[in-house]
């Protein structure tokens, strides 16, 4: 099989590339990545040197993508702007990449007659879920943040291509991933890196928002299964089955690193912060016999260890543009939130 992977230099994409290279010894991979702030070629160390891998730095919206898609059996589409807080600050790149970029990629796949298109989406498209509920693949889409809205829009565009043009596409909606190579703007690597530096851990609101956590290796295995055995036109929820409040995770990280809970620092909440995400993954279990293998405490301990052992990677990602981002969102948080409010509220 020859697979085109978009966003392969990001967190989940790079984990997917490493997993696929190991698992499928005769498959070939074309990786397309624009290398935004979130993309890092270091994530692909050992993979880009492999003769079965071709890496191309390119925007998914570039018309030349069709040449790369030609001859590929499948596309696994990870490329996206992926951080909610950045989407609140400026939604434009989210519209460009997540919506328009996805549509351009769909057109390229149609033109190149690619036989399978996996659109990697998120549980955030369902919006916040009440304490006793779970979103199924049939639940209505109710995105809250500009990021979630852009992913929901891209899902609907992909579905329109399935219906209108017979695009052989599958949509996956996964819960919060954690594991190696995650950019430290996201909750778990941010908490780990702050704790390692002996700096405050910024907890939004009361810290009791709930996410369902899945180790990235489990997500990659589910995607591989869906790529090979999933049914065209279907949507599959992918969940870790591990719901936790943010504050519980932050405390676990401090305990793992032997740091004091005095480092916990409650800060102003994210605007429109979804209280809880929770998926019903019965369909994936029943149709493809998939369940996650990782246990959270062991997965978290391994993740903490990875960041400790990859200090150079962490120092590099936390320099440059990241410092400015951190300054805006944490050091000058009130000012930045007020600016978002001024734009959003009339
Ligand atoms: P990430 O931000 O770590 O990586 C995104 C990658 O896409 C980067 O390498 C970046 O350079 C690349 N990219 C961005 N814009 C591009 C463009 N226009 N053209 C080509 N490449 C571009 O994201 P992630 O956390 O690895 O998420 C990957 C996908 O999985 C996203 O679609 C996201 O919505 C989805 N997802 C993520 C999670 C999660 O918990 N991280 C959960 C569910 C779904
Ligand atoms: O649910 C899947 C989604 O998970 C993916 O689609 C997104 O790409 C990914 O970014 C993630 O979105 P979240 O908003 O859930 O993840 P994030 O890591 O930003 O935040 C997780 C929780 O932690 C959330 O309730 C907000 C909170 N948080 C986050 C940060 C960055 C804090 O309390 N403090 C922080 O500094």
* Total-model pTM: 0.98
Contact 55, 112 (CB under 8 A): no
Element (H, E) at 107: helix 102-111
- The CA radius of gyration of the chain, in Å to the nearest whole number, is 19
Task: Specify the ligand 2 atom closest to the Cα of 174.
Answer: 2
- The mean pLDDT values, 10 residues at a time, for the chain of 346 residues are 98 98 98 98 98 98 98 98 97 98 98 98 98 97 98 98 98 98 98 98 98 98 98 98 98 98 98 98 98 98 98 96 96 90 50
Please tell me the number of the ligand nearest to residue 208's CA. Answer: 2
What confidence score (pLDDT) does residue 339 get? 84
Domains and CATH numbers, the chain: 2-181+214-240+274-295 (3.40.50.720)
Q: Measured from the CA of 246, which atom of ligand 2 is nearest?
A: 23
Residue nearest to atom 44 of ligand 1 (CA): 122
Q: What pLDDT score was predicted for residue 189?
A: 98
Q: 11-23 and 216-229 helices cross at what angle (nearest 10)?
A: 60
Ligand 2 in reach of 202 Cβ (< 6 A): yes
* CB environment 175-194: b (16+ within 10 A), e (fewer): bbbbbbbbbbbbbbbbbbbb
Would you please indicate which residues are annotated as catalytic (active-site) residues?
123-124, 147
Ligand 1 neighbour 78 (Cβ under 6 A): yes
């Amino acid at each position: 099989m020859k697979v085109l992977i978009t966003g392969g230099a990001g967190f989940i994409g790079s984990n997917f590339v490493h997993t696929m290279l190991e698992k499928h010894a005769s498959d070939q991979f074309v990786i397309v990545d624009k290398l935004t702030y979130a993309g890092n070629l270091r994530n692909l160390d050992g993979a880009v040197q492999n003769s079965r891998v071709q890496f191309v730095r390119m925007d998914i919206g570039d018309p030349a993508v069709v040449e790369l898609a030609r001859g590929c059996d499948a596309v696994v589409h990870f490329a996206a702007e992926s951080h909610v807080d950045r989407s609140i600050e400026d939604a434009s790149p989210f519209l460009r990449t997540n919506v328009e970029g996805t549509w351009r990629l769909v057109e390229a796949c149609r033109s190149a007659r690619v036989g399978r298109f996996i659109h990697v989406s998120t549980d955030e498209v369902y919006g916040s879920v009440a304490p006793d509920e779970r979103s199924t693949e049939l639940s209505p889409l109710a995105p809250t943040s500009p990021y979630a809205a852009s992913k929901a829009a891209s899902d609907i565009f992909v579905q329109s291509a399935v219906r209108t043009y017979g695009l052989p596409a599958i949509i996956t909606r996964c819960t919060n991933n954690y594991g190696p190579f995650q950019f430290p703007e996201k909750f778990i690597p941010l908490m780990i890196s702050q704790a390692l530096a002996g700096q405050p851990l910024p907890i939004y609101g009361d810290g009791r928002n709930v996410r369902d956590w899945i180790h990235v290796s489990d997500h990659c295995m589910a995607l591989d299964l869906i790529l090979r055995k999933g049914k065209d036109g279907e949507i599959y929820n992918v969940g870790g089955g591990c719901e936790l409040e943010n504050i519980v995770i932050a405390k676990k990280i401090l305990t793992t690193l032997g740091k004091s809970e005095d480092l916990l620092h409650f800060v102003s909440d994210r605007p429109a912060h979804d209280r809880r995400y929770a998926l019903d993954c019965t369909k994936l279990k029943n149709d493809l016999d998939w369940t996650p293998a990782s246990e959270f405490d062991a997965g978290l301990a391994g993740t903490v260890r990875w960041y400790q052992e990859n200090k150079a990677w962490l120092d590099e990602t936390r320099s440059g543009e990241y410092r400015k981002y951190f300054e805006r969102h944490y050091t000058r948080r009130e000012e930045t939130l007020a600016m978002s409010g001024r734009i959003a509220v009339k």
